[in-house]
Structure 1
Amino acid sequence: MTQGVMSGAGCACQPVEAVTAETFARSWSGVSALAWRVPLLAWALLVVAWSGASFWGPPEMWFLYMTHWGLLFILLEMVFGVIVAAVKTPEKNPDEESGLPWYVRVYWLLYNITIPVAFLITIFYWCILKPASKNTHVNYAPNPVLDVMLHGVNSVAMLVELALSRHPSRLLDVVQPWVFASVYMFFTLIYFFAGGLDPWGNAFIYPVVDWSKPEQTAVVITLTGLFLTLMHLATIGLASLRDRLIRRCRRDSAGVYNEGFTA
């Protein structure tokens, strides 16, 4: 990536440095990303194991829920984040498509997905799903501490990753969390028509996404897609605010600057 270019949609209005593999391996302070990604990886491993051991239904049904998909993506994102921070990237033989090694590009893809999806899961759960489940016999939170870990601390972990990371977030990358959400929604549709049931014998995974009520489900999916877009915009805004504050504190006009909103 050339000097001063931050996005395929436009050029930076301030002097910036090229985004390289090293950009993904350190914080703005120069501290290795291992300082926060190793603890977050340990947290993700613990919660995945705890959630699997505490699951209320058959083990294979653990994979039905978007919360668990999001948790697995956090785990994968941290695994690749640790690899990116730990491996000294050779200057020769970069990936010809982007100039970044493949594992850095995979990490960046997972980063772009996990942050807005984590925010979506937290807000969707506490504001919509949990109130809706009170009118049914479905109980997604037999363990209240684990409930907070899955639907609250997940966003805190991703907020830490966002705040301490150095690389940019971009508007067009919204396609990546959209694809994640679309794959999950198609999965729920296929599961419904295949006659799949939830652990309590219901013909839905979530009561607000009930394909036997297609009009209601279509509205929920549309609103969820719009809200996921909003979460991606919030991620870009937080990244831009992070960079502005750091540049102001350092009184530094150079460096990587997030310009995700630049057209």
Structure 2
Amino acid sequence: MGWKDYFLLSEFKLDYSKPNDFIKFQCGYHKLYLGWRIFWALYHLVWIILTGVYSYQWAGDDPAQQVKWFIYLTDWAYFVLTFSTIIDAICVVYIAVKRDDILLGACSEMPWYLKVDWVFFNVSNSASILVTMLYWGLIYSSSSTQTAVNIETHGLNMVYVLINLFLTGIPVRFYHLFHPMVFGAVYVVFSIIYKILGGTNAQEKSYIYSSFDWSNTGYTTGLSLITVLVAIPICHIILFLLFLLRIFVNKKCCSRTEIQNTATSVDNKSYSPEHYLELKDKNEVKIDMDTPLANKKS
């Protein structure tokens, strides 16, 4: 794929000719990938529960203040990240059980659930980076105590995003930057409505964040526009460039598994993906997930 192809108008869409890239590592399908997805789904599910359990650390002992967990951008971003990892796991399990055509690379059409997965992948990645940058740049105070939840939601979340981006086969498209931009715009609209309705933060202040106070309309409007129109696109572009770096490194260093348009090896016999599926339907062959399906250097 030439560099100009990354900027075609068709790249706005969620169509993709190799959906099996969404269920494997960048260097090819691996039997550990399913475990990878399930582990991270459970990991983030546990942590998002803990953010609620330990809400007293920032909201005090009043349950009425602890429930304000939902007003903070940090928690929005971590919820989307958790939801994204859960969708990842569900998609991989479903495809492993029901969609051998995707597993073998014989399918060239993206199913709707992988499109949904892709959108949340884009949103959660940029949101995690944005929240981490905004926290350490605008909110962090050297006098504040850093809790485990704080470190997880403003640091380790971004570490996960970067590791996951480099290891997995999920692509990043330049023009998909509008996905996280919509997320950012929705949060801005929510914060305005919350302010109009008289909402307060966990300390009963008339703003969610002191640096994001709609009482100072001009400043907060400017900050919102810069965040949605500049900061979020920059986060996504950084991820896009890291994706291109991943592709480059993969071509230079990684012997990857190519499934599409190659032979499938089973019991020392070779089959095209389409022929393999026909035989499998007749119960004449069986997939062995421990056996590489095909080997070909890019």
Q: Which residue of 1 aligns with 2:84?
A: 77
Distance 2:67 2:37 in 1: 29
Distance 1:71 1:10 in 2: 30
The yes-or-no answer on 1:231 pairing with 2:238 is no
1:171-250 map, 5 Å: 171-225=174-228, 226-250=230-254
Structure 1 residue identity aligned to 2:76: W
Q: Which has the bigger relative contact order, CA under 8 A and spacing at least 6? A: 1
Q: Which residue of 1 aligns with 2:30?
A: 31
Q: Is the 8 A contact 2:131 2:154 kept in 1?
A: yes
What SS does structure 2 have at the residue aligned with 1:87? helix
Q: Which residue of 1 aligns with 2:40?
A: 40
Q: Which residue of 2 aligns with 1:261?
A: none
Distance 2:259 2:216 in 1: 51
Runs ≥4 residues deviating over 4 A: 5-8
Q: Is the 8 A contact 2:123 2:183 kept in 1?
A: yes
What SS does structure 1 have at the residue aligned with 2:91? helix
Q: Which residue of 2 aligns with 1:105?
A: 115
- Name the stretch that deviates more: 21-30 or 200-209: 21-30
Aligned CA distance change for structure 1 residues 142 and 191 (closer, same or farther; 3 Å): farther
**Structure 1 residue 123, shift from structure 2 partner:** 1.0
Distance 1:219 1:75 in 2: 30
**Structure 1 residue 7, shift from structure 2 partner:** 6.4
Structure 2 residue identity aligned to 1:121: V
Q: Is the 8 A contact 2:207 2:214 kept in 1?
A: yes
Is the radius of gyration larger for structure 1 or structure 2? 2
What SS does structure 1 have at the residue aligned with 2:110? coil
Distance 2:117 2:75 in 1: 19
**Structure 1 residue 255, shift from structure 2 partner:** 9.2
Q: Is the 8 A contact 2:71 2:208 kept in 1?
A: yes
Pick the aligned partner of 1:151 from 146, 154, 166.
154
**Structure 1 residue 35, shift from structure 2 partner:** 3.5
Structure 1 residue identity aligned to 2:86: V
The yes-or-no answer on 1:63 pairing with 2:70 is yes
- Name the stretch that deviates more: 185-194 or 241-250: 241-250
Structure 2 residue identity aligned to 1:45: L
Q: Is the 8 A contact 1:37 1:161 kept in 2?
A: no
Distance 2:48 2:157 in 1: 11
Q: Is the 8 A contact 2:6 2:174 kept in 1?
A: no
Structure 1: state its 5+ residue gaps: 12-17, 93-97, 135-140, 257-263
The yes-or-no answer on 1:22 pairing with 2:32 is no
Distance 1:163 1:42 in 2: 20
Aligned CA distance change for structure 1 residues 10 and 175 (closer, same or farther; 3 Å): closer
Aligned CA distance change for structure 1 residues 250 and 48 (closer, same or farther; 3 Å): closer
Distance 1:6 1:84 in 2: 25
Q: Which residue of 2 aligns with 1:117?
A: 127
**Structure 1 residue 148, shift from structure 2 partner:** 0.5
Distance 1:220 1:6 in 2: 30
**Structure 1 residue 142, shift from structure 2 partner:** 5.9
Q: Is the 8 A contact 1:120 1:231 kept in 2?
A: yes
Distance 2:243 2:220 in 1: 33
Structure 2 residue identity aligned to 1:22: N
TM-score by length of 1: 0.81
Q: Is the 8 A contact 1:21 1:84 kept in 2?
A: no
**Structure 1 residue 158, shift from structure 2 partner:** 1.1
Q: Is the 8 A contact 1:19 1:167 kept in 2?
A: no
**Structure 1 residue 37, shift from structure 2 partner:** 2.0
Using the aligned pairs only, state the percent identity. Answer: 24
